[in-house]
Structure 1
Amino acid sequence: MGRFGKLETDVHIRAPASKLHEIYHERTHHISNVSTDKVHGVDLLKGEWGEVGSIICWRYFQDGKARIAKEKIEAVDKENNLITFTVIEGDLMEKYKSFKFKMQFIPKEKGSVIHWVLEYEKLHDDIPDSHTMLQLCVDVAKDIDAHLMEGSEEP
């Protein structure tokens, strides 16, 4: 087991990629209204919503505990629907020297795919890979999809 880790997954979503990108990029604070059991709040601490360099604080529930992550918006590529958040403070820093969330929203003929990448450096080799964090990302994305598709004619 190495200190550097990378977990990836694809989440198939019924909503358009542009709508998902908009929520994660510019309307991040609405996620806590959609995924209430997982995300308890998203607050802007510095900058403007969606701007590179801005800092946001996530209050979320993982592994049976309320947690916090302060993240900097590291990169945004609107054309390719890419966003990167870098954790700068919070509970993840108890186990990781660095932690990044990268997501790309890829349009498909029907719906879209979110490609999630979690990249991190563990403080020591005995720390397990963060599969529960990846699952939390997937579950929140599915909640957002269900919200966006509410009232849709699709089955």
Structure 2
Amino acid sequence: MAVDPAIIGTELPATTLTIDAGRLRFFAKAIGATDPVYTDLDAAKAAGHRDLPAPPTFLFSIELENPDPFAFLAAAGVDLRFVLHGEQSFTYHSTAVAGDVLTATPRITDVYSKKGGALEFLVKETAVTRADGSAVADLKSIIVVRNPGAGK
């Protein structure tokens, strides 16, 4: 089933998360970040941060806090068995640190297909801001959907 391009512009539910230092340490360990700035408060402060900074790619995990973070795909008629996370990019505006209250606001910005519809692409862009509205980062995800019925 083809993804209807009418979903372009759809805003998805926002997620708000207070960043916890323990969670940042765990994430740093999980991705193999060995720089003590991500796990030791003294090292973080010596590097000029007011608290432990969020490791690279941490912001991607905010949206996963939603009870059903992939509901938008099901609503678009996408069978999750045929989904692949194709690409992720980050544009950072400031450093998020432990104690920050962040809100991730995603929206679908594009839908297109390749290979005669056998592969469909959903582009989701997410603005991450602090409680005061200041920009932290802009994230871009490209989700690839294999359409097994295409070309038959």
What TM-score, normalized to structure 1? 0.29
Please state which structure has a larger fraction of its residues in strand: 1
